[in-house]
Every structure is written in C-alpha cells, then in structure tokens.
Structure 1
Amino acid sequence: MSENEGVGEGGNGLVDVTGGEFAGWQTWQSDAFEQRAGPFYEKRQADGTMLTAFRAEPRHMNGAGFMHGGCLMTFADSAIFTIARDAMGDSRGVTLSLSGDFLDPARVGQLIEATGEVVRAGGKTIFVAGQVRADGNPVLRFDAIIRKVRGTRD
C-alpha cells in the first residue's frame, strides 16, 4: 500500500510551473519521492479531464535502454490520484491495488503522458483505469483502486 498526496489543489505543495517545457502545468513539490522519480506534471484539459506527464530521461531507463517498468508503475501510481482528483475531494488516499500491462517500450526523450477515468467512486473506494503513452504510443495500461483515508489535506 503506498500513500500518494497527489490530490487536491489548496496549499498542499501543488505549485504552478512558470517556465520550461511544462510552463502552465502544476507539480507536487511537497512529494519528494515523485520529484526524484519524475518530476511529474499535471493539468486539467479543456474537456475537464486530467493529464499527467514527464519527459523520459536517461535516469529513467533500465539496463536495456528502455524505460524501467518500475518508473512507469510509479508514474501510474501518481497519475491515478490526479485522474481521481474530483472524486477524492479534500480526502487523502492510499493505493490499495495497482496492476499494469506493459504494451511497448518507452525511450529517452519521449513525452510520457497518462490519462484515464474514474470507473466507479462511492464511499471510500475509487476505481481508476488508464493508459500511459510515449509520444502518443500506448506503453502501459493500468487499473487501480484508491482507498480514502481519514483526515483532509493540510
């Protein structure tokens, strides 16, 4: 079970990016692990859905020169909370389950993006399905279950 604080928009470390490739996006500056792993960026699209992204760097690759599966799953774990932001409200959450199917390798320099949907949300449990793409090519499909936990975001 992993805790992810990638939910909510008020004073919790979600900061606006003002320069570079991801200007106009936001990132969770308060999540040290995600900053080291990514950093990962997110924004709400015109249709209201959430999009998360990062640029693949050599440090994200495995010994064969492709993106490490653990990096893709870490990104998916972060993305599920962004995708479920509206369903989460002010709640904190933990990942109860995260499964993925690797579809194709991702490479250095590619733009890695995740999108998805809340399949079902009720009470304390949220089901999410999504896909990670590298330069538009599907590389991972994932399913997850989030459990809301007591307390609200700081």
Structure 2
Amino acid sequence: MDGGETQNSYTSKLFQVTEGEWAGWSYYPGGDPYEDLAGPFYYRIDERGPVCAFRAEHKHMNGGMFLHGGCVMTFADFCLFVIARDVLHDDHSVTATFNGEFVGTAHIGDLVECRGEVVKAGRSMVFVRGLITSKDEPVMSFSAVLKKRKRQT
C-alpha cells in the first residue's frame, strides 16, 4: 500500500471482511502485488486508533522457523500507510526512509500486530513510528518518513 489508490496498473480497493477470524477488519487486495504475496495484512480502527495485524504462517518463516525479517519489514511498511492514512488524505506517497530494530520474533500461528503514531505531518513529508508485537512482546520498533508525491499522468 503506498497511500494512493492506483499503482502502476493495479487498483487498490478497500475490502471489509464480514466472516471468520478477520470479521470487522479491512484489507486492500490487488493494491500492492508484493503485499498480496506476503500477506494478507489487515487493519481496523478501534478506540485506540489504527491497528494492523496478520496471522503468521509457514510462508512467513525463515530457515530457523521464526518470523522472517523481510516479512516483518514488509508488514511494517504496510502499517506506515495505515497509521498515516488520516494525514495523507489519499495523496500518493512513498516510503522515503525506514529504520527498524528487530527485538523479538513470532512463530507459526501467532498473531502479529502493530500500532503506531504520526510524529509530525508536514506539507510534503510525514514522520511515523510504530511497534510490532506478538503475544504482547515486541518484535520490531520502527520509524519512517513518507514522502507525498504528485500523481504522474
């Protein structure tokens, strides 16, 4: 997800889940081919603000059978745009910088969640930070800058 509705020839459309484990959550199928492959990643807005989540599967593991760092970073990148969605106002934007610290892990079947905040929203840049957790233990802390861009016609 890059903060815009159209990326290359892919169209992102919000899908709200109505049944199963993810009832009440939303996701963007078709919005980002890599996230579709790595996810699905879900989000919802609750009384504390946006929360993102996914259930760790075999495809998310590394050779040691714990959560792959690339998966964690891909999920964090998804979370950036959910966390900042209210200040992006549907503007097209991209991740300009990303800093993350791996501080824990998750295993197959674990629920992986993320919450965060917008630190500052400027005219063209948005500063975001977040914490990914599993079983109430930190997995990754991260911060990033999103750059708003004009749409190419």
Provide TM-score, normalisation by structure 2: 0.90
The answer on whether the counterparts of 1:7 and 1:82 sit within 8 Å (CA) in structure 2 is no
The answer on whether the counterparts of 1:6 and 1:78 sit within 8 Å (CA) in structure 2 is no
Q: 1:44 to 1:34 in 2, by over 3 A?
A: same
- Per-residue deviation at 1:6? 4.7
The answer on whether the counterparts of 1:51 and 1:114 sit within 8 Å (CA) in structure 2 is yes
Within 1, Cα distance between the matches of 2:108 and 2:12? 31
Question: How many pairs are equivalent?
Answer: 146
Amino acid of the structure 2 residue aligned with 1:36: L
Taking only the aligned residue pairs, the percentage that are identical comes to 42
Amino acid of the structure 2 residue aligned with 1:38: G
Greater RCO (Cα-Cα under 8 Å, separation 6 or more) = 1
2:78 maps to what in 1?
78
Q: Which runs of 4+ in 1 moved over 6 A?
A: none
1:25 maps to what in 2?
25
> Pairwise mapping of residues 1-150 of structure 1 onto structure 2 (< 5 A)?
4-6=1-3, 12-31=12-31, 32-47=33-48, 49-150=49-150
Provide TM-score, normalisation by structure 1: 0.89
Amino acid of the structure 2 residue aligned with 1:133: T
Within 2, Cα distance between the matches of 1:52 and 1:29? 15
- Per-residue deviation at 1:33? 1.9
